[in-house]
Amino acid sequence: MAIYLDDAQRLALSHQRTRLAWRTEWPTWLLIGAMYGGWFFIASHAQTLGLSVSLPLLALFSAWYMSLQHELLHGHPTRSAFVNGLIGFAPLAVWFPYAVYRDLHLQHHDDAHLTHPEIDPETFFVSLETWDQAGTLTRALLVARNTFAGRLLLGPAFSIAATATQALRKPLRSDWSDAPAWLAHFVALAVLIIWLDRACGIAPWLFIAGVGYPALALSSVRSFHEHRSADSHEERSVINEAGSFWRLLFLNNNYHLVHHDLPHVPWFALRDVYERSRQQYIERSGGFLVKGYGDWARRYSFIPVTHPAHAGRCDFIPLNTPASAGFAGKLRVELTRDGWSALRHEAQVPATVERQATRQTR
């Protein structure tokens, strides 16, 4: 469901839909051609380029491909879920069947339950009960995952393990709905691995460890503290004013609040939608603004960005990293839970009159 800022934005977007780019989605078709063409060109010339060059490039294109899959499941470039599914079927990023990813991600778009550990399949929070029952090693890993370095190194392993666990649990509940997708995925992956090994000189273990895992790690840059716990769902999604490289790699999904509000807007229009209403979106997010992924890396390379346990109540919200400290000021808050403490910075973004009135009545 689309959430517009006001009627003016609704009318403006209605007008945008009549333009050539929106009607034909030619930027997305161009993207598809560049992505598939680039990936298979690099793979087929791996020996000429050398594995030290071709593997990182394939990982980069595979991460880009995952961004394309995200665009496909939201109804681009066609309105046919079947056609889009065919475009995103190839296992270039190794790990997840497109159909499984599609279903889980659409469940993630239930904004009312965004970040809830038992409902949101893409959350990086765990329930308070899970945290209380976790052992020392598990807690250490969960805390480490909430550092920028830990998200790159450990995040993919957590995602793979969680998806595999879900895939194994479903048949135990006599739910075989995902079995065809997994079977087709493994068959296609086997064919791709054999071709890479025999025709391109890329061994299976190199493809999995040197392309698949790094691609997922690169995608983890985007998802690092992409959502925080907050009372209002619109304050849970970040606005990341990333540079051009990251915007292209993630297809403007760094403007994540805009995407959650308007999931039907194609990737090539998201930045324009944001820029036209920048201050309104910053206020709507409750100041959840960051000045690029480098800001996350500088501040939280080895410091947890938030506590792993989900809030579930208002007084726990300060454990979530707020907006960029450089935007409108700094607030130093020291927080402790079960012996774990961290220093946080928060920007104070002026609320709208309506939001201020709401807060005064709480």
Per-residue model confidence as pLDDT tens digits over 281-311? 999 999 999 999 999 999 999 999 999 998 6
pLDDT, position 241: 96
Model confidence at 1, pLDDT cuts 50, 70, 90, reads confident
Amino acid at 252: N
pLDDT, position 361: 37
244 domain residue, yes or no = yes
47 versus 343: the higher-pLDDT residue is 47
The backbone torsions φ and ψ at residue 340, rounded to the nearest 5 degrees and listed phi first, read -105, 125
Cα distances (Å, whole numbers) of residue 201 to 28, 40, 207: 31, 13, 10
Query: What is the number of domains present in the chain?
Result: 1
Residue 356 pLDDT more than 80? Answer: no
Alpha carbon 267 to its chain centroid, in Å, reads 14
311 domain residue, yes or no = yes
Contact 218, 229 (CB under 8 A): no
25 domain residue, yes or no = no
303 domain residue, yes or no = yes
Residue 287, helix vs strand vs coil: coil
189/93 Cα distance (integer angstroms): 10
Model confidence at 345, pLDDT cuts 50, 70, 90, reads very low
**pTM for the complete prediction?**
0.85
Model confidence at 75, pLDDT cuts 50, 70, 90, reads very high
**235: closest CA among 283, 285, 275?**
285
**68: closest CA among 59, 57, 77?**
77
pLDDT, position 353: 33
* Cis amide leading into 77 (omega within 30): yes
The backbone torsions φ and ψ at residue 115, rounded to the nearest 5 degrees and listed phi first, read 80, -5
Residue 327 pLDDT more than 90? Answer: no
261 domain residue, yes or no = yes
Contact 89, 96 (CB under 8 A): no
179 domain residue, yes or no = no
Residue 18 pLDDT more than 60? Answer: yes
147 domain residue, yes or no = no
173 versus 349: the higher-pLDDT residue is 173
pLDDT, position 315: 32
Residue 340, helix vs strand vs coil: strand
Residue 179 pLDDT more than 70? Answer: yes
Tokens of 116: 């809830």
273 domain residue, yes or no = yes
Domain of residue 257 covers 233-360
Percent above pLDDT 90 for the chain: 80
